[in-house]
Structure 1
Amino acid sequence: MQVFRGIPRFGNQPCVLTIGNFDGVHLGHQALLARLRLRAAMLGLPATVMTFEPLPREFFAPDDAPPRLTSLRRKLDLLAKQSVDRVHVQAFNRQFASLTAREFIEKILVQGLRVRHLMIGDDFRFGKGREGDFAMLQQAGREFGFEVESLDTVDFGGERVSSSAVREAMLAGDMVHANMLLGAPFEVVGRVMHGDKIGRTIGFPTANIQLRQTTMPLSGIFAVTVDGGPLRHAPGACSIGVRPTIGDRLALRLEVFVLDFAGDLYHQRLSVRFWRKIRDEAKYDSLDALKSAIDEDCNQVRRYFASEQTF
């Protein structure tokens, strides 16, 4: 998969295009991308995705933007798994946001990407003030020679599949439902970095996973499996939070205690898959109380994996 920063002023090869945030690359996104690949194959053109960094809501209302399901790097990994040919990552900044709908069509779609077939969701709006819509794209397609296809949202058990629905399930602690909407277990990938080593002092050395985002759509203690380095589907207890027992106003951290493992994981790139929420994060009066809580967390993780076939 080829990844480009921004849009060329004048594109060389025509494409079949879809546009969106693609946060999480959930079942709805996957259905759209499957149609994109099919149409691209029929036309003999590259299946192309245009996405944004930052996301539009992060640009317009950074304090109110919802936590991302995926960092940009993770999203690109997921798009590659969907066999997308090209991804254009467009900087969503003041200059881009000021483009009128007509300018977006002419500069981005026609001149820059040379779109021959455009696939969009049924709620897609574009241009300054969100003035552009499906009807405007259809008219532009007739003028500039590209086709426009609108796709309905995907339902799962009567529920509209969306990034918001996945996020809401995670915030409610329902990882089973969130994973069903994603089509796979929620996964965080990152490198193991040195931390403060407090877990090691109380008998639970944890892998401190580097996060590429300052907020997450979930928090608490989870039953997870870990892959990477010497680990293959290794069960573990994972904590995502701000560690209130250790201090106040600490940065968000993801830490994993891998059960029955005593090796060195520093600088390994690990994949952590989330299966079940054990409990919320809590503040304890002492490190001894925290140690007892972690011990019980590990017991619950063992019981969960002993009773569930997760992989």
Structure 2
Amino acid sequence: MACEVWTDWRALPAGARGGTVALGNLDGVHRGHRAVLAAAHAARPDLPLQAMTLEPHPREYFRPQDPPFRLTLLPAKAAALAEAGCTGLHAIPFDATLAAMEAEAFCETILAEALGARHLACGADFAFGHRRGGDVTFLARWAERRGIGLSIVPPVSDAAGPISSTRIRRALQDGYPERAAALLGRDWEVRGVVFHGDRLGRELGWPTANIWMGRHLEPARGVYAVRAALPDGTLVPGVANIGRRPTLGGDPETRLETHLFDWSGDLYDREIGIRLVRFLREDMTFTGLDELKAAIAADAAGARAVLGIG
């Protein structure tokens, strides 16, 4: 089941209105976010399950000079929401108008008039409106006056505390994709279009599918055991490097280059997803191509061992 994405709240079709709506930035669609979705559905199982988020994330809008931090870009977010049973995503454009909108106006204009929400669900720390002037207490009072149901969902926690997008980002930046996966409920994936490189990997005997990290969070640079989600839906194990290729003079942007084990084909100009499984080693500079080639062979052997393949 797909999750339809609506980006124009001023002109929603009739079928996009009147749902039970999970609210939040939902970056990563982690286990805590899924609890909010579950609460929205449990409260009104008779209604379409929808989510509402802001696009771009307000942090991107107010601090565009900051490094990319997103766990899930919009298409990946919609796919993860679909897996959680969500049928529609209201991706409200965050612009100067929305940034200046007071909490009361946000509730009336967006939630009631535009979305026609009949039930809402959010985390206990949800905040909205100009300078985050609205909180769950404000939302509860407004929803009661409007006759709209509201579920406030406590954090989902593990032994280390509440699960959050911040914790997941930190785990990835520290080189622990398996910890991020435990918090997400699935492996973290970077999606991108395979571009034409310099074919050096092929010359070295290790052809790679290369994508740019783009607006994704940059995890620890180095080598990973991975699984690649190909356009036809198959998962192929592999070994990947995230970095800027210091041995080869350096790239202006961070790339993710993946060698797929026991697979051949053409992926150029097609979108793939790379799921990080385990961090193997930090990014390194080598003295020459022979040393680089030997390191790739050792990395591949290490990735195969992690992934349990011969």
Per the alignment, in what secondary structure is the counterpart of residue 285 of structure 1? coil
Quick one: structure 1 residues 150 and 199, their matched pair in 2 at CA, closer, same or farther if it must change by over 3 Å? Answer: same
- Residue 89 of structure 1 deviates from its aligned partner by 0.8
Matching residue's letter, 1:145: G
Query: 5 Å matches for 1:192-231?
Result: 192-209=194-211, 211=213, 213=215, 215-228=217-230
Matching residue's letter, 1:6: D
Quick one: structure 1 residues 292 and 104, their matched pair in 2 at CA, closer, same or farther if it must change by over 3 Å? Answer: same
Quick one: structure 1 residues 204 and 89, their matched pair in 2 at CA, closer, same or farther if it must change by over 3 Å? Answer: same
Matching residue's letter, 1:17: V
Deviations 1:97-117 (A, max 9, x none): 000111111111111112221
Matching residue's letter, 2:255: R
Match of 1:112 in 2: 114
Matching residue's letter, 2:256: L
Quick one: structure 1 residues 233 and 114, their matched pair in 2 at CA, closer, same or farther if it must change by over 3 Å? Answer: closer
Per the alignment, in what secondary structure is the counterpart of residue 115 of structure 1? coil
Matching residue's letter, 2:9: I
Contact 1:69-1:217 at 8 Å conserved across structures: no
Match of 1:154 in 2: 156
Matching residue's letter, 1:146: I
Match of 2:185 in 1: 183
In structure 1, what is the Cα distance between the partners aligned to 2:309 and 2:203? Answer: 31
Quick one: structure 1 residues 77 and 207, their matched pair in 2 at CA, closer, same or farther if it must change by over 3 Å? Answer: same
Contact 2:100-2:129 at 8 Å conserved across structures: yes
Sequence identity (%): 36
Matching residue's letter, 2:164: S
In structure 1, what is the Cα distance between the partners aligned to 2:73 and 2:82? Answer: 14
TM-score scaled by length of structure 1: 0.90
Contact 1:69-1:216 at 8 Å conserved across structures: no
In structure 2, what is the Cα distance between the partners aligned to 1:231 and 1:64? Answer: 34
Structure 2: runs of 5 or more not aligned: none
Structure 1: runs of 5 or more not aligned: none
State which of 270, 279, 282 in structure 2 corresponds to 1:280: 282
Contact 1:9-1:111 at 8 Å conserved across structures: no
- Residue 232 of structure 1 deviates from its aligned partner by 4.1
Query: 5 Å matches for 1:1-311?
Result: 1-8=3-10, 12=14, 13-41=17-45, 44-64=46-66, 67-209=69-211, 211=213, 213=215, 215-228=217-230, 232-306=234-308
Contact 1:68-1:215 at 8 Å conserved across structures: yes
Task: Provide the aligned length of Structure 1 versus Structure 2.
Answer: 306
- Residue 260 of structure 1 deviates from its aligned partner by 2.9
